[in-house]
Amino acid sequence: MTARNAATKEELAETLSGRLHALSEANGLIRRSFGDDVAAVASLGDLVGCILRPHGVATSHLNGPPVAIGEQAANHLALVFHELATNAAKYGPLSRDKGTIDVTWSVDADRLEIGWAETGAEAVTAPTSTGFGTKLVETTIERIGGGIRRTWNPGGLSVVISLPLASLGR
Ligand SMILES: Nc1ncnc2c1ncn2[C@@H]1O[C@H](COP(=O)(O)OP(=O)(O)O)[C@@H](O)[C@H]1O
Ligand SMILES: [Mg+2]
């Protein structure tokens, strides 16, 4: 799908290597514990951090309780955060000095809610057409049984992702 949506070989190489890098980073965070139960887990905070740090977003902008996520969920979420970060760098606050992103998450009963709030962007409006990145994000969230809502504020995009805790352990 990445290949079909690239206009040039160079663009294909760049987007594919970005996505593979996000997956590789996610897998680098996975800790395996062998014992009575075999589990492979990563921390949500570490995952968001390793994707946003190269974009200059400080850890102080990431806030939420410790949440352990399984290998599969970590791979899915790495792709989602990578697409959001890439867009923020292309069109949003990370393309300007003043902009930033706050990511907050909370656990409520059986769901995890993640808020992604961009600020300091300029004159953002809802796009009239979307690309493959949006499709990848939607499909990926759907695969882990979640939902996503975008709000286009003039100062930046806000995203709320809601996921069932049950799907995070996988
Ligand atoms: N963070 C953002 N801030 C402002 N505009 C955005 C942001 N993310 C996406 N957009 C708009 O939504 C469009 C669709 O994004 P996407 O599906 O990722 O495709 P692409 O990145 O290939 O353009 C972009 O072309 C852009 O106009
Ligand atoms: Mg994109």
Q: For residue 157, how far is its CA from the centre of ligand 1 (angstroms)?
A: 10
What does the pLDDT read at residue 31? 81
User: What is the CATH classification number for the domain harbouring 13?
Assistant: 3.30.565.10
pLDDT digits (tens, 9 = 90+) for 53-66: 999 999 999 999 99
Mean pLDDT of 109-116: 96
The protein residue with its alpha carbon nearest to ligand 1, atom 12, reads: 127
The number of distinct structural domains making up the chain is 1
The protein residue with its alpha carbon nearest to ligand 1, atom 6, reads: 91
Residue 124, pLDDT above cutoff 80: yes
Residue 38, pLDDT above cutoff 70: no
Residues spanned by the domain of 122: 9-168
Query: Is position 3 within any domain?
Result: no
Mean pLDDT of 11-33: 88
Query: Is position 43 within any domain?
Result: yes
Distance CA 148, CA 138 (A): 7
